[in-house]
Structure 1
Amino acid sequence: MSHSRMPALFLGHGSPMNVLEENPYTECWRHLGESLPRPKAIIAVSAHWYTRGTAVTAMEKPRTIHDFGGFPQALFDTRYPAPGSPQLAQQIADALSPVIVHQDLEWGFDHGSWGVLIKMYPNADIPVVQLSVDATKPAAYHFELGRKLAALREQGIMIVASGNVVHNLRMVRWGGGENYPWAESFNQYVRDNLAWEGESEQHPLVNFMQHEGAALSNPTPEHYLPLLYVLGARAKGEAVSIPVDGIEMGSLSMLSVQVG
């Protein structure tokens, strides 16, 4: 089956302005969409759907959510009308059992998901189901959910998770400037441990708060946790690569990770 296994991606999404701009990150996302095998459907995991409990978007036609302020009107006018898939929503719920998965009919696609998918698949013609990130659970739980989703990769389903492994907006250098040493150090720690294999309990990226730069790099964990779904979904010995990397405004890592 492995020849048909879909890749799993974590994309550092950065500013919503990436939707309107062309830069090395958006070029990378576009290239991934053009060069990877075309998925039958996509499971999107976004930092911006941070919930109590676990939910999936279960509607036929998810709305485009503009969950940001102070940006140009063109950004608010942009829609990503990809179809939903109640069938895939149910498949995810079955795969994650005994976790109770709420079939959500309200949410839609937030900018963490559609902001990258609009570059990868601009025609919006691949069904997408978004999976929420349960804020009440520890890091190991998110890794374990990734493991449970791994089997869906064999069925033509791509996992596209999105966040930023370093995300400290309070310390952003808006005009640009030097990267903070803790940001570079933590970003390198993530890079160094992507291919680690062993027991999940000791995985250095599950136990990421042990790193001295982790607390400043992730004052809250929601932008980091989507990475763990992708690492959890990795098969033993499967290749891990870095399509693009970079730190913006001193404290925002644009690192992207490809499994498979």
Structure 2
Amino acid sequence: MTPQPAAAALNQLTTLNKSPRMPVLFLGHGSPMNAIQDNEWRRSWEKLGADFGTKLPRPQLVLCVSAHFLTNGWWLTAMDRPKTIHDFGGFPQALFDQQYAAPGAPAVAREISQGITSPKIGLDTGEWGFDHGAWSVLKPMFPKADMPVLQLSIDYGRPAAEHFALGQQLRGLRERGVLIIGSGNVVHNLRAPRKAGPVPPYDWATEFDAVVAGQLGKGDLKGLIDFQKLGNVAQMAHPTYDHYLPLLYAAGAVDAKEPLQMFNANFQGQAISMRSMVWG
């Protein structure tokens, strides 16, 4: 897992100006309703977005890896005007009415695709857009939607180490004003029985969340790859891996010694950890 060749190539993109090194985010997005409800998570995204351009450098572009863009092979959105995708059901009409009209950046997507030769990253010129893993956090963060956004898909059939390694290759983008965001959840089990009312998280959920937090705190980023070694706890925390894998892209894109701030270190319900991170 050597990031240098592609990272160096991406640091030389001609479509983006050199900039101060951008942070990397992992955001626990939880329920789609967080996009429109006034709650602690939405408010945290609003606050975080307000920091860009004041406490943090303003991005030239956002590259989002969402738990909801799962494909065979890797793909990068490359359309001028990505559509807003409402990839959920059973929610109020107000949620389906939401639009996020940020532009795409086809020229940047082409350069990224050319800069990363292994694995091959295809260009999606019309199939996808912004799924709720992306727009539900971006809309509170950057409500003007005036910043180009790309989504990188997750090749769901590949082993965890390859997702981390691709994150490593994305590092060079940070020197070109690209804000890399992984959007998923540290714990995500919608199959677990749910109880009404305020109830504490499951023991296995808090255990898995604590292990991940411990690895992050120690800078053991590569240790995140071997999450399945936790056995049944990992299987309960992630019956499917889609919401965990975005964390590996974010962790791969940073150096273990970079400053880390964790926030939203709590649960939405019994089996969804909202733990989120800012590196850099």
Does residue 4 of structure 1 match 2:20?
yes
Counting matched residue pairs gives 257
Per the alignment, residue 206 of structure 2 pairs with 184
Aligned residue in 2 for 1:107: 128
Q: Tell whether 2:59 aligns with 1:59.
A: no
CA distance in 2, matches of 1:194, 1:66: 32
TM-score (norm 1): 0.94
Instruction: Return the offset for 1:246.
Output: 0.8
Match of 1:254 in 2: 274
User: In 2, are the aligned partners of 1:172 and 1:251 still within 8 Å (CA)?
Assistant: no
1:6-65 deviation digits (Å, cap 9, x = unpaired): 011010000000111011111111111111321000001000001110001100000000
Q: Which residue of 2 aligns with 1:209?
A: 228
Aligned to 1:25: 41
Q: Tell me the SS of whatever aligns to 2:236.
A: helix
The aligned amino acid for 1:84 is G
Task: For 1:3 and 1:55, locate their aligned partners in 2 and report how far apart those are by CA, in whole Å.
Answer: 26
Q: Is the 8 A contact 1:172 1:252 kept in 2?
A: no
Q: Do residues 234 (structure 1) and 254 (structure 2) align?
A: yes
State the distance in 2 between where 1:174 and 1:59 align: 43
Deviations, residues 139-195 of structure 1 (Å, cap 9, x unaligned): 110110110000000111000110011010011525241210000010011111114
Farther-moved stretch of structure 1 (142-151 vs 170-179) = 170-179
By how many angstroms is 1:91 displaced? 2.8
CA drift of 1:98 comes to 2.1
Does the CA contact (< 8 Å) of 1:10 and 1:226 recur in 2?
A: yes
- The residue type equivalent to 1:110 in the other structure is D
What is the distance in 1 between the residues matched to 2:60 and 2:143?
A: 15
Deviations 1:70-114 (A, max 9, x none): 111111111000000002212321343221111112100000000
Runs of 4+ in 1 over 4 A off after TM superposition: 195-198
Most deviating of 176-185 and 110-119: 176-185
* Distance (whole Å) between structure 2 residues aligned to residue 148 and residue 158 of structure 1: 14
- Of 80, 95, 102, the match for 2:100: 80
CA distance in 1, matches of 2:256, 2:227: 21
Normalising to structure 2: TM-score of the pair?
A: 0.88
Q: Which residue of 2 aligns with 1:134?
A: 155
- Structure 1 equivalent of residue 181 of structure 2: 160
2: CA distance between counterparts of 1:162 and 1:189? 19
Pair 1:95–1:228, CA change in 2 (3 A): farther
